Every structure is written in C-alpha cells, then in structure tokens.
Structure 1
Amino acid sequence: MTNQNNQEQTTPLTALQHDSFGYLNGELFVEGLSLAEIADKVPTPFYCYSAASIRNAYTLLSDRLEPTGASICFAVKASSNISVLRLLSELGSGMDIVSGGELERALAAGVSPSKIVFSGVGKTRAEIARALKAGIQQINVESCAELEVIRDVARNTGCRASVVFRVNPDVDAQTHAKISTGKKGDKFGIAIEDIPDIYAKAAEATGLDVAGLAVHIGSQLLDLSPYRAAYHRLATLVEALRSKGLSVPRLDLGGGLGIDYHLGVGPDVGEYSIIIQETVGHLGCELTVEPGRWLVGPAGMLVTEVLYLKETGDRVTAIVDAAMNDLMRPALYGAIHPVLPIKSCDDHAPYAYNIVGPVCETSDAFGSYCNLPKLHSGDRIAFACAGAYGASMASSYNSRDLVAEVLVDGDRFRLIRRRQTIDDLLALEKPTPMEHAFLRSRDC
C-alpha cells in the first residue's frame, strides 16, 4: 500500500512503513485493508500488524548483513505472538529467548531448537533442563553462579550444555537508562576483565561445550558508535583468549537496533553491517545478531477509540479506550508514539490534545499532541510504531481485558490473539480445595 494521499497525514511514515501503511481516499490502510473496516469487526483496542512490513524489514536487514555472514535471531521479548514468530521463522530467523515461556512459544511456532539462543540473568533449573533437553543452540551464561547450575543440570539430565559467555564490556549505549545493559554495574553479563579466567576453567570442565562469547549493550540504539566500541573490545578479548590456546568459534553480537518513534529515519543497517565487518569480521567466528524492535516495531499499530473529550486547562484531553495496561511504554519510559487518525476529516487545522487512557493512574497518559485533526467521541486513532514491546508487555491491570492482536497479510486479516475477557480471568481464580499445612514440632 503506497502513500497516495500525503496531504491528509498528520505525520509522515517511516521508510519501513511506507509500502505497508498509507492513506487512500481519506482512510488509513494497512496493506490492502482499511483499518476502519478491521475496527468494525474487531472491537478496540487492538494491535494490528503488517506481515509485509515484517517481511520487508527482515529481508532488508538480511541483505545488508550478508557480507558479514551473520545469522539473525529475533528477540522474542519484543513481540512474542506465535504467529509473528512463525512468520519470522519462515523467513529464516532463529530466536533469542529470555524465559522458559518464550522457549515454548518459539517451539510452538515451529522454530528449530538448533536456532534458539537462551539469554537472561535468572534462568531457573527447570528452564535450563528444558532447554538442554530440547537441544537449543546455546545458553548465554551471565554469571559464575549460573555456570555452576548449568553444569549441575547438564550432569543430572545427561546432556551436554553449549554455553557462550556474555561479556559486560563497560560501554555506554547512550540510550534510555532503563534499557542500557552494557555498563559496569548493570546486572547483565560478566565483567570483561573476569572472562579469561572463567572461560579457561569452563573449557576444561566436563559436560560443557564452550562455544564463544556474547555481548548486548542495550536497546533502542540510534547512534551506532557504541556498537563499534563494544565490538572492538570483544575482538580484543577474542584475540587474548586465542593467544592462550582457547577456542572461540562463535560470537553473539546482541541486538538493540533502534527505530525513530518520530517516524523519521532510523539507524542505517548498512553502516551497522560495515561496523561488524571492520571490528570482528577478521576473526573467522560464526556470528549472530539479535534484533527485535527494528524488525517489528514499525509493523504494528495500536488502534483505539476516543471515548470522551474534556477541557483541562489550556488543552483538550481526549480519553481513549486503550490504556497503559495495553501499551506500557509511555508510562514506563516516557515514550511518545505518533498518532494517526483512522479517517481524515475536512478540517485540516491543527488541534492540540492530551491523550490519556481510562486506567486509574496519573501515569496512564500517552502524551501531548499538537498537530492532530479535530477529534470527536467515537473517532478511531492509531498509535504507530507499536509493534514492539506493546502487546508483549500488556497486562490486565484494573481487571481490563487483555488486548487482542490482528495480523494483516495482503487483502486479508486474521485474529492471532483473541481478547482475554474478564470471564477468562475469573476462571483462573476459581479456588482449589483447602489443604492442611502440617506443623512439625521441633526439639527444644
């Protein structure tokens, strides 16, 4: 769907959205379907994703990375719906998981266990055992204590554990403080100076296959220079390990590529590829990258309906039926998502609104917007760039229904997650029979 009516837009679309989202005859389209028509069949709020946008993003990144030989493992936490995972898997993507639940989602989507990477600082014994029995590609080790647990679980299950050590390179990703993961003091990874000793001891341990190193410095990176700094430090570490006779066959370069939430131009993935080639390309390692947001963020919109308009000071507040439990990013990170009207109006004068949700929290606010058309109760709008960390972070706070998800592919759509209603939630809370807790006497 090309942009055939630019003058009716309140905000430009990103390059990644351009072929999938646009206005035609005054209506916002996703590929070959009007969002208004979808909203007539699926009650708001709901997430709507473009399959074409995801395919285009994956193909572009894969093409740019081809000179590096790097494989792609999608960061499941960004968008964990199994239909989205299946779509990416069919394109050739592996998966980067951070929980046992995400492992089950990836397997349910048909992803080969040999293309699954398990990251995260707090893996349980049960999660580790399930991953080893499934035969995943690798477990990224984040601490010495975790390594000992992995060895113990591997011994008890009779499996060999392929492990990669996540390095904390002490590099500032220059991103939001809550999503920075590569600085000294962050909870992620092992300090770079501690790696040589730990790596050497693990290489001699039974039950472990030491496969290499990993690094991930943060999320939503728009400036690519921190990657160069981190990968340079990683390359120096590889050479130091090899000088001691240690094998380092694999490098997991993490993810974090950002998108421009102002619907402009994001980071150049061609430049990202060049950075990889110039920093670690000479090492002869098998390379993996783990993008999440960059692949799916621009592909999704949260569609919502205006419930009420009220005067608040010098601005009108628009109360919509989507809330912070549906899209947490504004409340959690102070993020601002662009807003697009589902249908344009004849009045092109810009109007200013505070857009808020119905949840009983002051933080349930999506932001202030000053270039919107005049809104009325019953109008539908869409929060753009909502395909990442939207539905995957949603909850049923205030006992609200868990938001539905829709996938558009060409001129058809399907519901890929039905709305979880209050009846569904209440069914989970039916009490089980009371059980006795026996108190044991203790010797005095």
Structure 2
Amino acid sequence: MPKTQAKRLVRSIGAQALQKRVGMRQDLSPQLWNMSYENSALTLHGVNLQTLLEQYGSPLHVLNTQKLAQNAHAMMYGHQKQQILNVYYSYKTHPIPRILQLLHSYGVGAEVISPYELWLALHLGVDPQKIIYNGPAKSDKSIEIAIDRGIRLLNVNHLEELERFAKISRQVGKKANIAIRLIFAKGWSGQFGLGVDTGEALATYRQALSMPELNVIGVHCHRGVLFDGLDDVAGYLQGIKDFLNTLYQEFDFHPEILDVGGSIAIPTVRSFSDFDKKLSETFRIEVREPTPQDYPTLEDFAEFISKDLTGYFQDVSRPIPELAVEPGRAITGNTQALLSRIVDTKETSEAFTYGILDAGISVAEIVKYEFHQVLPLQQKAQNPEKLYRLVGPICHMGDTLYPAWRLPELAKGDAISIMDSGAYFVPEARAFSFPKPGIVGLNSSGESFMIRKSDTFESIIHMDCLAD
C-alpha cells in the first residue's frame, strides 16, 4: 500500500474512533436568533435573507435591531419594571456609530478605552456623565478632555497614571472623577489594573485619596475571563465585597459608583480547546456546539448582580452606590450575522469538499477559535449532507474558516449565514485583498436600512498618498 494511502487509512480509523468519543455536532436552532425557515428560505422578521444579499451585495452583516433593544433592556432591567443596573457598552467590541446611536437611544452609556473612542462618544452626543474611560494608553489630551467635560469616571489602570491625572487636573482647574481598576487572582493578568492580592490596589487608593486634585468616587474591576455561570459571578463579587470592606476599614471610603465590568458570554458561542482544533484540522471532526440552554440569561445575570450587591450594602448599612456594568459581546454578539456566498466548490481526493466563500479570515477570523453556528440560507432537504472545508477567497493557507462542517450539498451561488458576528468581527476586520463587508439593519417590521457601506476599491486606498 502506498505511504499516502496508508496515512489516510490510519487517519480514517482514528477519526471514526474519535467521532464515537465526541459525538456528532448538532445544529443550533435558528429560533435562538429569532430566525426561521419559511418555504425553505432562512428569514428574519419575515424577510428572506437571500434578498438582502441581492440588494446590498455579498458578504454582508445583518443586524437584528429588535434583538439589540431586547439585550440592552435585559441588562438594564433584569426581570424588573424599574432599572436595576446602569449599562456602559464596551465600545471596542463593536464600534459602529449607527449601532452605538441605537444603544444610546435605549439609555445605554459608553465605556471607552482610547482617545478615538472618547472622541466618538462625545461626537455622538453621549452625556459625559454616561461615559467611563478605561485603558492603559490614555493620551494627555484625551485625559484633559475627559476632565474638562466632566465624564462619569476616569479609571486608573496603573499607579503611574495618578500623577498624570493630578497634573492635568491642575492645568484644567477641575478635579478628575476617578476609580481604580482592580485585578483579582482569577482574571486577566497584570497588564490591566492593580492587584488586590499583591497590595497594589490598596496602596494606589491610599495615594489617590491623599491627592487633592483627584475626586476618588469609584471602584472598577473587569474580570476578562468569561463567566461560567452565576456561581462564578458570586465568587467574583465576593472578592469585590471583601475589598470594599478593606477600603472602608482602612480609609472610611465608600464608593459613589461600583463598576463590575463585563465578561458575560454569548450563550451560542464557545471557545475552542486545543483538542477541538486538533480534531477539526487533523481528523475532520466537527467541533461540538455549546449548550445555550445551560447558560444564564441576561436577565438572570442582571438580577443576580443587582440583588447580590444591593443585599451586601444593606447588610453593612452603607448607601447603595450606582451599580454599573460594562458588557460588550453580551449586548451585541448575538444580534448580528455575516452572510456569505459560495464562490465555488472544489472536490478533493480526501473525504471532504472545499466550499470557497467570498468571506474569509480578513472579516471572520474569530471563527478559527470560537464556535459560530453556520446556517444555509436555503434549505435543501433533498440534498445529501457533505463534509465541507469552508475557506475564504484569499490566496493564503491560513484562510480556512471551518476545517470541517457538514451541510446539504452546496453549489456556486448558494449562501450561508455565520451567526453571532456582533462582537469583534468588525473591529478586527481588514481589507486583505478584498473589500470589507457592509452592515445592514433589519427592524421588527422587516424594514432594512444601511448602517455601514461596504468598502470600495477607492475607499481602501482613500488615505494613501500616491505619486503624481
């Protein structure tokens, strides 16, 4: 037996054994995204998504504005009729001006991490008292603007920022409203914030409270690592409450605002393990789907955070501060989908077929390390399923989005929907040989509107300086 055939046989036997171990991937229901198949066509609010591609071109992001409003409301109100949390949306997650305008119209504030994002929030007319400025690389000019405009909170990322804030406050003639970002053992490392366990955070509060130029009004933290569930949230909040007790005992300090960050996952998305990647890339075994029914709802998260912290402040007989959260992916992630056409298919001598898409790693690289459901825009029940390797249009070996995904047999011109493209897809996209896709909004009445136009060849080189 030739060596190549022997390798294929061994891999095939190994794949069969591994497939039995991990089980077969099951499609998540389109209803999780308020979608359904009508007359075999994938629809949202009664609109055949294929018609949007015909109208606006492919590839194309489609935003469900109803879902966006529902997510924002869930995080602000939980299961209550009155607002229980103040939400500051993480701009870096999906910094699309029209989408941000929608969020702000629902009452959501802005959490920004760069001079550009601060400018954008102010440019969009966000009330400075609804802006929180985080990040390790704040420019002096942006700090000056933040202090002068009186934003809600300017968060200290590292000790060295204190003197910068104080110096600029003196120059502006106004006090800076600040909080200090905490780091706990279970979370992001020392790149962002100051360690509670190391004593850095307490020492920074001690110094900040002694500086007359600074108005220390808050406590800020953001775990970074996504929560597994409500028990995980409880452990995280306990660490915050313990530190609040220390601040009160040491300095008689009580925050006016407590900002506990984000880190809430998208129920229909999960990160790959190294084992998942190996199975998919080497043995062509599809990565298993998450179990969204096992993850708390946004209402559940909001209720839990509010009740836990409100109960704590009542127990210690201290006033309840503003309770703030900074969700990103939890608000916009599952509100958007990326539609992409099959440019062509290519048969192989292996047990799979290439499906060549007009969207690749330049606009959807995230799917290389996260599960994102793929739904065909047209159901073809009569077509047998085939194993596809879904690849992008770039002449680059790394332009593989899905090493293994079973779909009804595809043909040139068919299209798919890559779900949950509303978190980091757009800000991480680049024009790598092909223009970036546009974004279209679709409201509950089935009316579509342009949110961001697709790149053109001319717009790609718009900022270049060409020789005469």
Check whether TM > 0.5: yes
TM-fit CA distance, 1:41:
1.1
Q: 3-state SS of the aligned residue for 1:393?
A: coil
Matches within 5 A, 1:211-360: 211-244=217-250, 245-259=252-266, 260-261=268-269, 262=289, 264-265=292-293, 266-272=295-301, 273-279=303-309, 281-283=311-313, 284-312=320-348, 313-331=350-368, 334-360=369-395
Q: 3-state SS of the aligned residue for 2:73?
A: helix
CA offsets per residue over residues 155-206 of structure 1, 9 Å max, x none? 222332111100001124xxxxxxxx2xxx4311101122222212211212
Q: 3-state SS of the aligned residue for 2:370?
A: coil
Answering whether residue 207 of structure 2 is matched by residue 190 of structure 1, we say no
> Is the Cα–Cα contact under 8 Å of residues 27 and 373 in structure 2 kept in the other structure?
no
Q: 3-state SS of the aligned residue for 2:78?
A: helix
Equivalent in 182, 200, 216 of residue 210 of structure 1: 216
Q: 3-state SS of the aligned residue for 1:248?
A: coil
**Which residue number corresponds to residue 112 of structure 2?**
97
Equivalent in 5, 9, 13 of residue 30 of structure 2: 13
Equivalent in 45, 50, 62 of residue 59 of structure 2: 45
> Is the Cα–Cα contact under 8 Å of residues 54 and 296 in structure 1 kept in the other structure?
yes
TM-fit CA distance, 1:369:
4.3
TM-fit CA distance, 1:10:
5.1
Segments of 5+ residues of structure 1 without an aligned counterpart are: 1-8, 173-180, 434-444
TM-fit CA distance, 1:394:
1.2
TM-fit CA distance, 1:215:
0.9
Equivalent in 141, 146, 150 of residue 165 of structure 2: 150
In 2, Cα distance between equivalents of 1:346 and 1:278: 49
TM-fit CA distance, 1:230:
2.1
Aligned length: 408
In 2, Cα distance between equivalents of 1:46 and 1:155: 49
Mark the CA change 1:171 to 1:53 in structure 2 (over 3 Å): closer, same or farther: same
Q: 3-state SS of the aligned residue for 1:305?
A: strand
In 1, Cα distance between equivalents of 2:204 and 2:79: 31
TM-fit CA distance, 1:285:
2.2
> Is the Cα–Cα contact under 8 Å of residues 374 and 416 in structure 2 kept in the other structure?
yes
TM-fit CA distance, 1:225:
3.2
Q: Provide the TM-score with structure 1 as the length reference.
A: 0.86
**Which residue number corresponds to residue 71 of structure 2?**
57
CA offsets per residue over residues 385-407 of structure 1, 9 Å max, x none? 11111112211123x21221111
In 2, Cα distance between equivalents of 1:63 and 1:276: 10
Answering whether residue 21 of structure 2 is matched by residue 25 of structure 1, we say no
Q: Provide the TM-score with structure 2 as the length reference.
A: 0.82
In 1, Cα distance between equivalents of 2:165 and 2:467: 35
In 2, Cα distance between equivalents of 1:227 and 1:355: 37
Q: 3-state SS of the aligned residue for 1:310?
A: strand
In 2, Cα distance between equivalents of 1:126 and 1:403: 33
Let me know the Cα RMSD of the aligned residues: 2.2
CA offsets per residue over residues 317-368 of structure 1, 9 Å max, x none? 111000111123134xx12311111111242532211111122333322114
Equivalent in 128, 132, 138 of residue 147 of structure 2: 132
Overall identity of the aligned pairs, in %: 24
**Which residue number corresponds to residue 407 of structure 2?**
372
Counterpart of 1:144, as a letter, is: L
Segments of 5+ residues of structure 2 without an aligned counterpart are: 1-25, 270-288, 314-319
**Which residue number corresponds to residue 361 of structure 1?**
396
In 2, Cα distance between equivalents of 1:304 and 1:59: 30
TM-fit CA distance, 1:280:
5.9
TM-fit CA distance, 1:279:
4.9
Counterpart of 1:238, as a letter, is: L
Q: 3-state SS of the aligned residue for 1:420?
A: coil
> Is the Cα–Cα contact under 8 Å of residues 32 and 412 in structure 1 kept in the other structure?
no
In 2, Cα distance between equivalents of 1:42 and 1:269: 32
> Is the Cα–Cα contact under 8 Å of residues 28 and 342 in structure 1 kept in the other structure?
yes
Mark the CA change 1:25 to 1:10 in structure 2 (over 3 Å): closer, same or farther: farther
TM-fit CA distance, 1:219:
4.9
Counterpart of 2:113, as a letter, is: V
TM-fit CA distance, 1:316:
0.6
In 1, Cα distance between equivalents of 2:31 and 2:235: 28
Counterpart of 1:297, as a letter, is: G
Mark the CA change 1:237 to 1:10 in structure 2 (over 3 Å): closer, same or farther: closer
**Which residue number corresponds to residue 99 of structure 2?**
84
Answering whether residue 187 of structure 2 is matched by residue 201 of structure 1, we say no
Counterpart of 2:460, as a letter, is: L
CA offsets per residue over residues 86-143 of structure 1, 9 Å max, x none? 1111111111111122223323333212101111122121222232233321111110
TM-fit CA distance, 1:14:
5.8
**Which residue number corresponds to residue 177 of structure 1?**
none
Counterpart of 1:58, as a letter, is: A
TM-fit CA distance, 1:268:
3.3
Matches within 5 A, 1:382-397: 382-397=417-432
Which stretches of structure 1, 4 residues or more, deviate above 4 A after TM superposition? 65-68
